[in-house]
Structure 1
């Protein structure tokens, strides 16, 4: 039995007092096959493709219930690893929005073949780190778009202090339509472990659930797709022994 995922399940069902059933898509879209078809695209580099086995994008996006006709926003897309999958996937029937910290995808993807429909929003978001602080602060009022079907963010939650995380959760909530999904993935920290030099880029999943519920979301489900038994949650995520193989929590929320 997987101890950490079992513990998370107990926290969800007992401490929060709710069950966590997986929601069926109900639309008949085989998103897993659509994503797999995109993984061999020419616009993805070999180094990006080498991460597919670890990141499991087809299974992850299927778990979140993504469909090709959705209006979606990706928060803090970084270098665009997921953007190169998400934007083409919804280009014909839906819409992709890149939000907050989008400089790199603006320079490398926007306007390029296959990425002409990308829209960049929330460019006025302010991200900074106070002198001596461990985490970033964020100031943002809105994503500048609403009625979204899904907001996704991958391995970004850990970068911000409590106020910054709250700001991220609040603007995601405001941007989603009722029933919209908030999809969050990050590196796992031990529950209630004090801050130390090794867990700065890890997040306690129970804390994340508590904070996201506080923004008004309902918990839907969690997945152990990114459970890694050999990650002892002891080392910094860039350490040689765990890099590319960190234990990550994968949480799905819904706006009521």
Structure 2
């Protein structure tokens, strides 16, 4: 009996070792692919200069990106993250983009290596009510489902309460059970009244409450974008903080 138990223990340990080794290899494979995408000639020098501040490899590792995932990026703008995300999942997964996609549609979708990009929810309507500095949003979902991760980088602050609620709801509907909602934005002081300096900042506690209200579970946060020298006092475009704002980085999950 003692020999049998010892054998079982050894087999179990070997299995755990092999599993750990496999996970380690997979992690490094993803890390290597992210770094490879970061060095691509498709990225401009100006884009690469922001790598040390935006830390895409660490950010995507925190959110748990894998190359076989179906991912959706919201408001990709000029494609700073698209140029990293799309190549990473091109072979085994799928990249989708929604809202604010004209830039990548014009510049990337016909570029070698980016042909699989799919633009969705092109009928989404963003507008600002008279006197409102933020966008309202009207959309009937993103038109895709079973998504593994929905990303939105520094976009949450662009919307008013109605727009944020609509975006959170659509993200929830697009994700598969257990899927991740990955959100990064500029930090505002908790409960600070709205003013000209914080209009492109978001109270992280408010964001958590709103995203949980859409049905999400709060999973974790990362301090990789914490910036001690950002006093949370100046507009994000101010010379003292531009390109180096304090940002909250939070992970939410759609319940299983």
TM-score if structure 2 supplies the norm length?
Answer: 0.89
Q: Does 1:64 align with 2:63?
A: yes
Please report how far the alpha carbon of residue 49 of structure 1 lies from its aligned counterpart in structure 2 after TM superposition.
0.1
User: Does the 8 A contact of 1:149 with 1:181 survive in 2?
Assistant: yes
Structure 1 unmatched ranges of 5 or more: 1-24
1:43 corresponding residue in structure 2: 42
Q: Secondary structure at the match of 2:27?
A: coil
Deviation at 1:33, TM superposition (A): 2.1
Alpha-carbon distance in 2 for matches of 1:100, 1:26: 34
Give, in angstroms, the shift of residue 26 of structure 1: 5.5
Superposed, 1:235-254 pairs within 5 Å as 235-254=234-253
Q: Equivalent residue for 2:31?
A: 32
Measured in 2, the distance between the counterparts of 1:191 and 1:38 equals 36
Query: Which runs of structure 2 are paired with 1:172-183 in the superposition (5 Å)?
Result: 172-183=171-182
Deviation, structure 1 residue 34? 1.5
1:119-155 per-position Cα deviation (integer Å, ceiling 9, x unaligned): 0001010001112112111111210000001100000
Aligned to 1:103: 102
Displacement of 1:194 in angstroms is 0.3
What is the 5 A alignment of 1:208-227?
208-227=207-226
Secondary structure of the corresponding residue to residue 96 of structure 2: strand
Partner of 1:88: 87
Cα distance in 2, alignment partners of residues 197 and 42 from structure 1: 38
1:81: how far off?
0.2
Number of corresponding residues? 232
**Contact 1:34–1:89 at 8 Å: present in 2 too?**
yes
Backbone CA RMSD of aligned residues = 1.2
Partner of 1:159: 158
Instruction: Quote the residue 1:12 is aligned against.
Output: none
SS in 2 for 1:29: helix
- Specify which structure has the higher proportion of helix: 2
Asked if the contact 1:73/1:152 (under 8 Å) is kept, the reply is yes
Q: How does 1:113-124 map to 2 (within 5 A)?
A: 113-124=112-123
CA distance in 1, matches of 2:174, 2:23: 23
Correspondence for 1:3: none
Match of 1:19 in 2: none
Runs of 4+ off more than 6 Å: none
DSSP 3-state at the match of 1:195: coil
Give the whole-Å Cα distance in 2 for the aligned partners of 1:118 and 1:235. Answer: 37
Superposed displacement of residue 202, structure 1: 0.1
Partners in 1 of 2:183 and 2:219 — Cα distance?
Answer: 12
CA distance in 2, matches of 1:125, 1:216: 22
Q: CA deviation at 1:114?
A: 1.1
2:134: which partner in 1? 135
* Per-residue deviation, residues 190-231 of structure 1 (Å, max 9, x unmatched): 000000010010000000000000000001100000000000
CA contact (8 A) 1:33 1:58 kept: no
Gaps of at least 5 residues in structure 2 are 1-21
